[in-house]
Amino acid sequence: MRPAPASPPAPAPAAPTEGPASAPAGSAPAVGASGALPVAFDPSGLTAPFAPLRSDPPPRIFATWWLRYLLFLAQLVGIAVMLLAEYSSAPGEPVVTPTVVAPYLLAAVLLLSWSALAMIDAARLVPATTYHRKSSASLAVALWLLAFAAPIAASRIVGWARDRFAVEPDDVAVMAATVGALLLCFLLVWMPFRYHTVQAHRIGAPGRVVAAWFWLPLVASVGALLVNALGLRDTLAEDGMTDLERTVQVGVVFGLPALVFALATWRATTVFDEVIDLRWSRWRNEWEQTIAAMSMQPAPGPEAPVEPPTA
């Protein structure tokens, strides 16, 4: 009998390697004992601590747009009533009648109301800083009242100076007192516009637009000053002025500066109100985002039990 062939020798065992063996390419990832796939650590997945954009809800503000519209309309009605009164009245009759005064009295009340409410809104939305004081409605109203009284005081001063110059034309003291008083009246008229310009700059509104509220009507009134200074009114009155000529004269001397003032008032108040509305809308959006982010925060864990104090 032939002997059986010898079996091949068994392969030698592989040398052990440190650490887990890497899976071959194309094979499925290893599954842990719990059946879940391992997740790699990602530092960017850590949540940042909750930081609210706003800590309090937006304040309540006043809607002043309707005051703005009524103020502009009252100024236009005042100009039209003034021109109609001049056209319908006889030469030399006083034009300052209750019908003419009523629209401007209404415009003054509307201007005071708008200024007070706008300052209240600005104080609620924008806090005071080291260099800018908080908006004050009472101060704004007081400055407007002084500005309204300044032209009346200036006319009284000019009348007093004319009487004194009629007695003594070369009185230097009277001239100096008149110039100083008129300069003071000019500053009183300028102060409320300056105050609103400063507050507009404080809340982020363009201050040049609010400053033009004062300077544009002042430039437009140069024509009226030239008419009186050059004596054109007396020249026209020599040959007799018709009703239409007198109306055109009033339109140049009074109507044009008044119209420029109405347009400048509309522009300045609109810009101020728009900035107030934008600030309030931004505050509301930030508050809504804060509420939404707060609702997405995880619930706090259980609190540790408090041990009673030992005796």
**pLDDT tens per residue across span 43-66:** 455 455 666 777 788 899 999 999
Q: Does residue 273 sit within a domain?
A: yes
Q: Does residue 85 sit within a domain?
A: yes
- The reported pLDDT for the residue numbered 139 is 96
The tens digit of pLDDT for each residue in 21-45 reads 444 444 444 444 445 555 454 445 5
The tens digit of pLDDT for each residue in 242-284 reads 777 777 778 878 888 999 999 999 999 999 999 999 999 999 9
- Entry field: residues in the chain: 311
Region of residue 204 (phi > 0: left; psi between -120 and 50: alpha; otherwise: beta) = left
C-alpha span between 146 and 188 (Å, rounded): 6
Count of domains for the chain: 1
Contact 67, 120 (CB under 8 A): no
Q: Does residue 153 sit within a domain?
A: yes
C-alpha span between 141 and 143 (Å, rounded): 5
209 has a pLDDT exceeding 50: yes
Q: Does residue 237 sit within a domain?
A: yes
- Non-local (6+) Cβ contacts of 38 within 8 A are 29, 32
- The reported pLDDT for the residue numbered 20 is 45
Residue of 76 and 231 predicted with greater confidence = 76
Structural domain including 236 reads 65-288
CA distances from 284 to 45, 53, 150, 288 (A): 30, 11, 42, 6
Q: Does residue 192 sit within a domain?
A: yes
Q: Does residue 295 sit within a domain?
A: no
The per-residue pLDDT of the chain, averaged, comes to 80
Q: Does residue 108 sit within a domain?
A: yes
Q: Does residue 79 sit within a domain?
A: yes
